[in-house]
Amino acid sequence: MPEVRLPDGVATEAGATDPRPGWFREHGIVLIVVALGGGIGAEARYGMARLLPTRPGHFPWGTFLTNVVGCFAIGVLMVLITEVWTGHRLVRPFLGVGFLGGFTTFSTYAVETRNLLEPGTVYVAFGYLAGTLIAAMAAVLAAVTLTRTVLLRKQIHPGGTDEEQA
């Protein structure tokens, strides 16, 4: 049988070296900030659901707005952290994966769509299904375009608007 070489820190017998301490030292903080951001984002989503509760058989406006607003925020964030800032390495995991991942809720979107697939609400289900997809993608595109436009305008006119400079 050929010899198998394992990564450093991994032993072939039980009770020997455990690879997790080195792994956690390298990646643990990322997991912690993602979890923290996700918890805060989920609380924000819960607040939105309390403000706009979904009634059975009706269009789920709370979830729809949560997902569209979250996608818009993702578009703004991605432009800022990939094109503008040289931010800390934990900003993207905390805000993008954690907070906005916890805030948006595409699993609820799927469940609500399924629940609307009943006689009398099938059109609402398909409207919600297509409407959320289109609105979420449009929100990301609008956010990216708007953020880049605002940033470009600030680069061209760093002191303010044309009227202020005249």
pTM, two decimal places? 0.77
Give the mean model confidence (pLDDT) for residues 122-148: 97
Q: What is the pLDDT of residue 82?
A: 87
Instruction: Name the average pLDDT for the chain.
Output: 86
Tokens, residue 21:
């301490």
**Alpha-carbon separation of residue 160 from 133, 135, 148, 156, 157 (angstroms):** 37, 32, 16, 9, 6
Place of tokens 């979830």: 63
pLDDT at 130 over 70: yes
- More confident site: 23 or 74: 74
Query: Predicted confidence band at 24 (pLDDT cuts at 50, 70, 90)?
Result: confident
Q: Give the pLDDT mean for 46-67.
A: 95
Q: Which residue has the tokens 């800022």?
A: 80
**Domain ranges within the chain, ordered by starting residue:** 71-154
